[in-house]
């Protein structure tokens, strides 16, 4: 799975009570809480990867009788975006009567916990219909499998991209 660097531009609104002399750090923390570890557009933004490239001067705006300072921020981040037909090495997490649930391992710098399954940006599902030449009894939890992506679903603000794969 290829990790690539992507550039996004977003508007960030801050309340005057949130402001102090370290505005860049405040904006960075707001971006991290909004987007890191979540799906956005056609990808998932990896943890600990957002960097601010530049920001506009703040504009004071009023929304519902409350003032906010609005910044247009351009930032880069590391993302994963699956494609149909892409091949992955997947670690088996669970086996049940529906099929196999697995995950991919990513670099330690993107980890959000000690659990490898929680750190994986992909939830890999291999239905029983796609386990052709394998006997389900021969596959064990923790085993590595080579799979091909048949389809995927990206839901905005979800913490994993769901993929349906077949063993190759």
Which residues does 87 contact at the CB level (< 8 Å), separation at least 6? 146, 147, 148, 149, 168
Strand partners, 88: 147
> What is d(CA 31, CA 76) in angstroms, rounded to the nearest whole number?
11
- Domains of the chain from N-terminus onward: 3-80 (3.30.1490.120), 87-167 (2.40.50.140)
Q: Give the pLDDT confidence score for residue 44 in this predicted structure.
A: 95
Which tokens go with 80? Answer: 């994963």
**96: which residues sit within 8 A by CB, 6+ positions away?**
none
Q: What is the pLDDT of residue 51?
A: 97
**Following DSSP, what letter does each residue of 36-102 receive, concatenated?**
TTSEETTEEEPTT--EEEEEPPPEEEEETTEEEEEEEEEEEEEEE---TT-EEEEEEEEEETTEEEE
Tens-place pLDDT, residues 26-39: 999 999 999 999 99
d(CA 30, CA 25): 9
The 10s digit of each residue's pLDDT in 109-123 is 898 888 889 999 999
Higher pLDDT, 95 or 130: 95
The pLDDT of residue 137 is 81
Size of the chain, expressed as the number of residues it contains: 168
């Amino acid at each position: 799975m290829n990790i690539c660097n992507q550039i996004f531009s977003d508007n960030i609104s801050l309340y005057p009570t949130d402001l102090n002399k370290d505005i860049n750090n405040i904006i960075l923390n707001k971006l991290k809480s909004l987007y890191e570890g979540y799906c956005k557009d056609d990808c998932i933004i990896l943890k600990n990867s957002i960097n601010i490239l530049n920001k506009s001067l703040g504009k004071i705006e009023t929304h519902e009788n409350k003032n906010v300072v609005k910044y247009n921020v351009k930032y880069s981040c590391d993302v994963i975006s699956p494609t149909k037909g892409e091949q992955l090495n997947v670690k088996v997490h669970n086996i049940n009567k529906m099929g196999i649930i697995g995950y991919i391992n990513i670099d330690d710098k993107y980890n959000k916990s000690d659990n490898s399954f929680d750190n994986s940006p992909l939830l890999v599902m291999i239905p029983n219909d796609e386990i052709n030449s394998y006997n389900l009894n021969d596959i064990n939890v923790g085993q590595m499998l080579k799979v091909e992506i048949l389809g995927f679903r990206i839901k905005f603000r979800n913490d994993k991209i769901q993929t349906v794969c077949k063993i190759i």
